[in-house]
């Protein structure tokens, strides 16, 4: 098949959406499919997204996008995001009366509502309700919606999604993230609690930094809240951006991975941490609830500190957690799921 992926999130951005397609693409090509990704940098005009400058919003993309679609002649169209490119692609498919599928990657209703609530808390609920209505309208036009977990599927069903929901899980590159390699974070007081992710309001990092901890806390990542948190929490080690084998070494150098977010749909850092042998501590919410399904993988609780302390005592070994990831989270599995959904929504 000729598979077309249209996404507002693509290189040089670094986030879960980008990495999902980046790691899945080689597996799709190995299976004999031709894949084309259309992203913001295929267009001349774009501006930074307010509050999330790493994401660029494409301006007036429809005519150029239409030509790119018609020149490629895809067998299946996948719309990855709900931004300007996603909207233009949706408009094209509806105008031509051709099938397409989408993915729900990001909890935009919560993200937008949290940002608006910084101005006035009273706006949180109406903003979230309005965003849910808009998101539902966007995806209801599709022939299939890809979701990462059962918990997310249940949530979208409760919102009234009528489009068929299909599973698209996530994988881990275990040649980079594994349990028995070099370690970083030497000479820091133990136990070391680690957070990895975008340093932004939606990640709820303050809940991690506020919890009492007898050892060290480490934050890896960049984002708009970084300078604020550095000033407020001077005893936390902010290590900046890390990638690849360097990031894996930092995972392995910690004792527990703490994930304070309550709005992520999956949380790829959870599976990366587990592949590096770390137990995970998190709230009992979407994402962690679907991944931390066995006692040796970590602990969930309404109290993040309690979860972290319990995760430190999780049974099993680092190798056990790595083996769990190898058996359940591979990009080959993800690619096969994507192919099956693409066949379901194939253009006749």
**What is the structure's pLDDT at 301?**
98
**What is the structure's pLDDT at 230?**
97
Which residue, among 287, 281, 288, has the nearest Cα to 303 in the 3D structure? Answer: 281
Please give the structure tokens belonging to residue 271. Answer: 């599976």
Tell the residue number behind the tokens 């975008």, with chain if given: 198
Tell the residue number behind the tokens 């597996």, with chain if given: 27
All structural domains of the chain with their residue ranges: 2-171+330-344, 192-328
The residue-averaged pLDDT of 239-245 equals 96
Q: What digits encode the pLDDT tens for the residues 287-317?
A: 999 999 999 999 999 999 999 999 999 999 9
Picking from 66-70, 109-113, 310-314, which range would have the lowest pLDDT averaged per residue? 109-113
**What is the structure's pLDDT at 50?**
74
Pick one of 3.40.50.720, 3.40.50.2000, 3.40.50.300, 3.40.50.880 as the CATH number of 192-328. 3.40.50.2000
Q: In sequence order, what are the beta bridge partners of 218?
A: 194, 237
Q: Give the helix/strand (H/E) hosting 57.
A: strand 52-58
**What is the structure's pLDDT at 51?**
65
Strand 216-220 versus strand 144-147 pairing type: unpaired
Backbone angles phi, psi at 323, to 5 degrees: -65, -40
**What is the structure's pLDDT at 168?**
97
Cα–Cα distance, 93 to 65 (Å, whole number): 11
Instruction: Work out the mean pLDDT of the chain and round it to a whole number.
Output: 94
**What is the structure's pLDDT at 150?**
95
Q: Is the CB of residue 38 less than 8 Å from the CB of residue 85?
A: yes
Q: What percent of the chain has pLDDT over 90?
A: 87
Concatenate the DSSP letters of all residues of 288-323 into one string.
HHHH--SGGGEEE-SSHHHHHHHHHT-SS-HHHHHH
For residue 114, name the pLDDT band (cuts at 50, 70, 90). confident
pTM over 0.85: yes
The residue-averaged pLDDT of 25-52 equals 92
**What is the structure's pLDDT at 49?**
78
pLDDT tops 70 at residue 20: yes
- What residues contact 195, with CB distance under 8 A and at least 6 apart? 205, 208, 217, 218, 219, 220, 221, 257, 258, 259, 260
Q: What digits encode the pLDDT tens for the residues 118-145?
A: 778 778 888 889 999 999 999 999 999 9
pLDDT tops 70 at residue 325: yes
Tell the residue number behind the tokens 């500190």, with chain if given: 305
- What residues contact 199, with CB distance under 8 A and at least 6 apart? 205, 219, 221, 222, 223, 224, 225, 226, 229
Cα–Cα distance, 171 to 329 (Å, whole number): 4
**What is the structure's pLDDT at 294?**
97
Q: Is the CB of residue 145 less than 8 Å from the CB of residue 161?
A: yes
pLDDT tops 80 at residue 174: yes
Tell the residue number behind the tokens 């959870």, with chain if given: 270
- What residues contact 228, with CB distance under 8 A and at least 6 apart? none
pLDDT tops 90 at residue 14: no
338 vs 120, higher pLDDT: 338
Q: Is the CB of residue 6 less than 8 Å from the CB of residue 65?
A: yes
Q: What digits encode the pLDDT tens for the residues 81-95?
A: 999 999 999 999 999
Tell the residue number behind the tokens 């993040």, with chain if given: 304
pLDDT tops 80 at residue 68: yes
Pick one of 3.40.50.620, 1.10.10.10, 3.40.30.10, 3.40.50.2000 as the CATH number of 2-171+330-344. 3.40.50.2000
């Amino acid at each position: 098949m000729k598979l077309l992926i249209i996404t507002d999130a693509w290189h040089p951005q670094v986030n879960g959406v980008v990495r999902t397609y980046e790691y899945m693409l080689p597996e799709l090509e190995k299976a004999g499919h031709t894949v084309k990704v259309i992203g913001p940098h295929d267009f001349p005009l774009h501006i930074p997204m307010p509050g999330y400058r790493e994401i660029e919003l494409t301006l007036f993309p429809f005519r150029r996008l239409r030509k790119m679609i018609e020149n490629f002649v895809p067998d299946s169209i996948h719309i990855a995001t709900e931004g300007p490119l996603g909207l233009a692609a949706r408009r094209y498919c509806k105008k031509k009366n051709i099938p397409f599928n989408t993915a729900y990657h990001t909890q935009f209703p919560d993200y937008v509502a949290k940002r608006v609530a910084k101005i006035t808390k009273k706006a949180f609920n109406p903003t979230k309700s309005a965003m849910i209505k808009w998101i539902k309208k966007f995806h209801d036009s599709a022939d299939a919606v890809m979701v990462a977990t059962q918990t997310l599927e249940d949530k979208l069903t409760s919102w009234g999604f009528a489009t068929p929901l299909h599973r698209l899980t996530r994988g881990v590159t275990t040649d980079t993230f594994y349990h028995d390699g070099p370690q970083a974070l030497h000479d820091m007081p133990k136990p070391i609690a680690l957070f990895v992710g975008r340093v932004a309001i939606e990640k709820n990092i303050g809940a991690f930094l506020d919890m009492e901890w007898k050892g060290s806390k480490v934050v890896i990542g960049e984002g708009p809240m970084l300078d604020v948190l550095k000033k407020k929490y001077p005893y936390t080690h902010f290590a900046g951006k890390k990638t690849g084998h360097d990031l894996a070494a930092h995972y392995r150098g910690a004792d527990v991975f703490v994930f304070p977010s309550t709005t992520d749909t999956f949380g790829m850092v959870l599976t990366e941490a587990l592949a590096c042998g770390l137990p995970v501590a998190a709230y009992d919410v979407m994402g962690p609830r679907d991944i931390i399904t066995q006692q040796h993988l970590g602990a969930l609780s309404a109290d993040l500190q309690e979860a972290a302390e319990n995760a430190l005592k999780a049974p099993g070994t680092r190798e056990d957690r790595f083996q769990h990831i190898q058996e359940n989270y591979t990009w080959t599995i993800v690619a096969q799921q994507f192919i099956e959904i693409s066949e379901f929504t194939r253009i006749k």
